[in-house]
Amino acid sequence: MEFLPFPLASVLAGAFLGLLSFVLLLNIFGLPANWIVVALVAVWKALHPAAESMGLTFWVMLIGLALLGEALEMALQIVKAKRYGSSSAGTFAGMVGAIVGAILLAPLFFGLGALLGALGGAWLGCLLMELLKGRPMREALDAAMGAMLGRFLGTVCKCGAGGAMVVLTSRYIWPEPSAVPLAPSLDATGQTVLHILPWLC
């Protein structure tokens, strides 16, 4: 972004980082928000060829964080559900229920309903599946609680990984103020005046 004045470059970078932060909210809906962030950063790189610093190391770290977020989300949902006694079918039903619940309740509470819908959907989906499998109500309730906790922790970790991706990106796209001249260069007349002023004071 060396071809842009620093104020304009910083505004564009700030707006782009704000967009990335907003995209992270899609994690609540069970959508691949972190991968959308990767795609948007790739578009930024394509439109700003001067950003040579976004090289192989940057992309390895960015994609690594996205993969880490996916692994943590999946692992926590499975581990928590299993720990509370959920079957594989119940765990899968909880994942599907979380997505459906997030979409249905998204319009409520200024979008915060998506989180409540995801948690409630994970609980209800797992509960119904366990009951359909003929498990006692108490065991089904325990399994549903595990599915809900796993969904919550998985979403938090995935959003955390996405936040780290945004922070990493900010370090590579934010313009360097030191590279911007603080004042226009003085012509010969201005330099002469600067030399004379100390003698006049």
- Crossing angle of helices 56-83 and 33-47, rounded to 10°: 170
Domain that holds residue 98: 6-175
Q: Tell me if 148 is assigned to some domain.
A: yes
Q: What does the alpha-carbon distance between residue 141 and residue 129 come to, in Å, rounded to a whole number? A: 11
- pLDDT recorded at residue 17: 92
Q: What does the alpha-carbon distance between residue 156 and residue 20 come to, in Å, rounded to a whole number? A: 17
Q: Tell me if 143 is assigned to some domain.
A: yes
Q: Tell me if 194 is assigned to some domain.
A: no
Average pLDDT of every residue of the chain: 82
- pLDDT recorded at residue 99: 87
Is the pLDDT confidence value at 178 over 60?
no
Q: Tell me if 99 is assigned to some domain.
A: yes
Q: Tell me if 180 is assigned to some domain.
A: no
User: pLDDT category, 10, cuts 50, 70, 90?
Assistant: confident
Average pLDDT rounded to a whole number, residues 145-155: 92
Q: Provide the 3-class DSSP secondary structure of residue 92.
A: helix
Q: Tell me if 184 is assigned to some domain.
A: no
- Find the radius of gyration of the CA atoms of the chain: 26
91-106: buried (b, 16+ CB within 10 Å) or exposed (e) per residue? bbbbbebbbbbbbebb
Q: Tell me if 23 is assigned to some domain.
A: yes
Query: What is the domain count for the chain?
Result: 1
Q: Tell me if 37 is assigned to some domain.
A: yes
